[in-house]
Amino acid sequence: MSNHLYALILAGGSGTRLWPRSRASLPKQFLAITRSDLTMLQEAQARLEPLVTPERVLVATGAASVATVRDQLPNVPAANILGEPQGRGTAAAIGLAAIHLRHRDPDAVMAVVTADHLIARTELFRQTLATAAQGARDGWLVTIGIQPTYPETGYGYIEVNPSDAAKRGEAVPVARFVEKPNRARAEEFFRAGNYYWNAGMFVWTVSRILDEIAHLMPGLFEGLTAIERSLGTPAESETFEHVWPRLPNQTIDYGVMEKAERVAVVPVDLGWSDVGSWAAVYDLLPKDERANAVVGRHLSSDTQRSLIYSPRRLVATLGLDAMIVVDTDDVLLIAPRSRAQDVKLLVDRLKAEGLDEYR
């Protein structure tokens, strides 16, 4: 059943919400955030095994991060690491991987997964990919729908018919993709039970996704076709360098998924988190008896409900409640947990204050 199953790990993100640990030059997927032994990218690759072996893993990342990916995933062949000179959105990244796979194996089934999300239930994750791969072989574009645990307003949702809502772990037809809702609609979706978070994970055959791109994104398809023709020829890298910057910059969700026919979702509760802020990191980490989440050494007096993230330095706190403390070699961040989303404001200000070296 896992014959011909490949995986594309999307590792191009440059999130700033875990600043100062994550930097423009070292985004969170390349960091060990919640585990000390593996980076998020390494976790993303490890949880594919044994369903998808390293030889069948592709990674899409920024050109500047190719060396980092090679270092972190030594078992993934160097040729499988696709460096993007500029970010052109997930549609181009997925399309590029699809033509590389078609060139190598026209019958390839392709799972698209993310490098910067956490998945607690890895066995269930692989079962879900296998289920989705079967749906893909049957001709569906399959997405993974995450069972919501609260009414989040920051994600897109996937709606299914209410009669399909109870079907956990099997592929059911998607009724509709819904963009990020406001608070009231998010609460409605959460109560209704037939809406799932769109976590950006997909499974399809390369032939099906390339057909959809040809149909729905002809400009992208034209560019991809030019690149595909050059693969394995002396013109390969010149063609790529020329075509890539001219590809339309679009997400696969908007460019393909929202408009395509025969789209299915496998709803599942994977223990998924996008680790989208230091507050989320706090939620994910184990707590001590005063509800502090500590990475590193903490000398505490009367401190509770706080995240202390300091792998190197001793952090001594007195009388803190619900705070975030993140220490790095050159920057120290302190904020209330409730303000975790505003860390990106600080990053914006770095530029304004001429402190680019800290971004």
* Binding site residues, its own copies, CB under 8 A: 20, 297, 299, 301, 310, 313-320, 323, 325, 327, 329-336, 338-339, 342-343, 345-346, 349-350, 353, 355, 358
Least distance (Å) from its own copies to the CB of residue 305? 14
Task: Write the DSSP symbol of residue 257.
Answer: I
Note whether 268 and 108 are within 8 A (CB): no
Q: Which is nearer to its own copies, 141 or 315 (CB)?
A: 315
User: Which residue matches tokens 């590792």?
Assistant: 11
Residue 6 CA to residue 80 CA, distance in Å, equals: 11
Q: Which is nearer to its own copies, 195 or 309 (CB)?
A: 309
Where does residue 338 rank: exposed (0-12), middle (13-18), buried (19+ CB within 10 A)? exposed
How is residue 259 written in tokens?
A: 């408009």
Least distance (Å) from its own copies to the CB of residue 155? 24
Q: Which is nearer to its own copies, 232 or 319 (CB)?
A: 319
* C-alpha distance across the termini of the chain, in Å: 45
Task: Write the DSSP symbol of residue 285.
Answer: S
Least distance (Å) from its own copies to the CB of residue 350? 7
Question: Closest Cα partner for 349 from 337, 340, 336, 358?
Answer: 358
Task: Write the DSSP symbol of residue 339.
Answer: G
Strand partners, 9: 59, 113
Least distance (Å) from its own copies to the CB of residue 37? 24
Q: Which is nearer to its own copies, 92 or 350 (CB)?
A: 350
Q: Which is nearer to its own copies, 147 or 341 (CB)?
A: 341
Phi, psi dihedral angles at 113 (to 5 degrees) = -130, 170
Task: Write the DSSP symbol of residue 251.
Answer: -
Least distance (Å) from its own copies to the CB of residue 345? 6
Position 244, amino acid: W
Least distance (Å) from its own copies to the CB of residue 306? 9
Q: Which is nearer to its own copies, 214 or 331 (CB)?
A: 331
